[in-house]
Chains A and B, each alone.
Chain A
Amino acid sequence: MPDLEVLDGVSLELQKGELACLLGPSGCGKTTLLRIVAGLEGADGGEVVLEGGEAGGKVSRVGMVFQQSALFPWRSALRNVSFGLEMRRGRGRKEAEERARELLRLVGLAGFERHYPRELSGGMLQRAAIARSLAVEPEVLLMDEPFGSLDAQARNSLQEFLVELWEKTGLTILFVTHNVDEAVFLGGRVFALTARPARVHRVYEIPLKRPRDRTSPGFVGIRREILAYLAEQGGPQGG
């Protein structure tokens, strides 16, 4: 994206162990923001600070889950998950596979170790991708609309799965989505971005207890409020 001002003075701070959502219209620069945090793209200015150290770079302190699972099709589920460990020196392959086996169990894919990605459903692919990113023990997990290409049922069940996983592991997660329902279901806080150039315009605290009931008055109320705000901002919205 040459010479296009995509982000302008976006600033957000995550607490350790927080599950936060970044909500904004398609093409507003959410993905660009994540890629900068992940160290995949440079920014014209600004900085990413992770507990005093620089994020991205050689040390994989930042994990990323992509829109498409981006699993390696020639590797089995097990060897996809062990990939990050294999990239490190001085690690035995056996040890890496043992750890990968544990992670697959954690994401509910025990028994699918030897399956290749083409043999897995969309939801299973994303579970495996999450397990793969956890293998290198990132301090922050970035998720770029990871459930966007799933059907509604699979998406809901993956959202519930992610909340459980987060509660079990205490991960710090920044979850990008354009879906208001998803953001309200997952996020402890929801950062609402404006259209290009993106700015964080509003931060919503979601006080509802997890697991959340999508049909409860509190849930619906917050959802209505955010939708009304986004409509006011202009631009088509889903969710």
Chain B
Amino acid sequence: MTGKPFPWQREDLPPARRWGLGICGLVAFLGLWQLLGWLGWLGATPSPAAVARAVARLAGQGDPFMRRSLWSHVGASLFRILCGFALAAAAGTGMGLLMGWNAVLRHLFRPLVEMLRPVPPIAWVVLAILWFGIGNAPAVFIVFLGALFPVLLNVVSGLESFDPVLGEAAVTLGASRAQVLFRVAFPSALPQFFTGLRVGLGVAWMSLIAAEMVGVGTSGLGLMIESSKTMWRLDYAVAGMVVIGAVGLALDFAMRRVEAYFLRWR
């Protein structure tokens, strides 16, 4: 590295300062929010202290509507996201490899994929309930739709940007076409693949919460917010939002750790 990095470059501050600044920002936001509460400007909006109390009560006694603890809602949502995401990762990778491998398949499916992609997964909720009833299955289906397209399209574009010289090197070393795809082209597309996984996980998480709010099941964080709303318990609703954010953050963090392991060669 020569000279000072420009401000928009990453890793421009030491880690301790980055963490410190992040915490400062969070604390300042919460402080301002609480201050507005003390000044009486918040109206019916719950203050951070009220939300914290609501989280504690949800975690302890559970919600007053369904008598389920926060943990069982978190568990239900996590179960759905993990099932749907695993299915989407497998299907997206498989379809992506097929579309990358074969030009006929690629052009056969591309318009279909491009048309389905902009449809928000939550718009499928009617069909999901029609096909799968109420419970985990329709929620898993919505998650699947949310994660599928980012994974699929990133696998395809990762394969498209494959450096042919790597494939030629492999061919001169005796690799078959299938070996070039699985042992060379796919590994070289891993960075894009993981981008797809991370985007897909984020979209899937948001779609799942929305689906739960619409009522695909009888548990889940989305349903917890929805029932708080009908009972006009805004503190529980905001507590649900906070938990959703925290779980989403944890999922992304876990995904980044997996990615860092598989891309350690970068």
Chain A contact residues, CB within 8 Å of chain B: 38-40, 58-60, 62-64, 66, 68, 70-76, 83-84, 86-88, 116-118, 132-133, 135-136
A135 pairs with B168, CB closer than 8 A: no
Which residues from A are CB-within-8-Å of B171? Answer: 39-40
Residues of B in contact with A, size category: 20 to 34
Q: A87-B179, A116-B265, A118-B265 are in contact. Are A70 and B174 (CB under 8 A)?
A: no
Further pairs besides A66-B169, A72-B187: 7, Cβ < 8 Å: A66-B165, A72-B166, A73-B265, A83-B173, A84-B174, A88-B174, A132-B169
Whether A74 contacts B173 by the Cβ 8 Å rule is no
Which of the residues B169, B176, B184, B264 comes within 8 Å of A64, measured between beta carbons?
Answer: B169
Contact at B173–A133, with CB atoms within 8 Å? yes
Q: Does chain A have a CB within 8 A of B251? A: no
| The one of B168, B174, B265 that contacts A74, using a Cβ cutoff of 8 Å | B265
CB distance from A166 to the nearest CB of B (A): 19
Instruction: Report how far A74 CA is from B183 CA in the complex, Å.
Output: 11
B10 interface contact, C-beta 8 A: no
Asked whether, in the complex, the Cβ of B172 is within 8 Å of the Cβ of A38, the reply is yes
- A-B contacts, CB under 8 A, total: 70
Give A234 to B172 CA distance when docked, in angstroms.
35
A227 and B183 CA atoms in complex are apart in Å by 45
Instruction: Give B260 Cβ to nearest chain A Cβ, in Å.
Output: 14
State how many angstroms separate the Cβ of A146 from the closest Cβ of chain B: 12
Cβ A72 vs Cβ B173 within 8 A: no
Q: Within B124-176, which residues are at the interface with A (CB < 8 Å)? A: 165-166, 168-176
Quick check: is B190 within 8 A (CB to CB) of the other chain? yes
Q: Ordered nearest first, which 3 A-B pairs have the shortest CB separation? A: A84-B173, A60-B174, A70-B169
A84 neighbours in B (Cβ, 8 Å): 173-175
A132 to B173, CA, bound (A): 8
Which single residue of chain B is at the shortest CB-CB distance from A142?
B172
Contact at B170–A83, with CB atoms within 8 Å? yes
Q: How far is the CA of A58 from the CA of B174 in the complex (A)?
A: 6
Determine which of A40, A59, A71, A87 lies in contact with B176 in the assembled complex, contact meaning CB atoms within 8 Å: A87
Complex contact A136–B174 (CB within 8 A)? yes
Q: 11 A-B residue contacts at CB 8 Å?
A: A38-B168, A40-B172, A66-B169, A72-B169, A72-B187, A73-B266, A74-B190, A74-B265, A87-B175, A87-B176, A135-B173
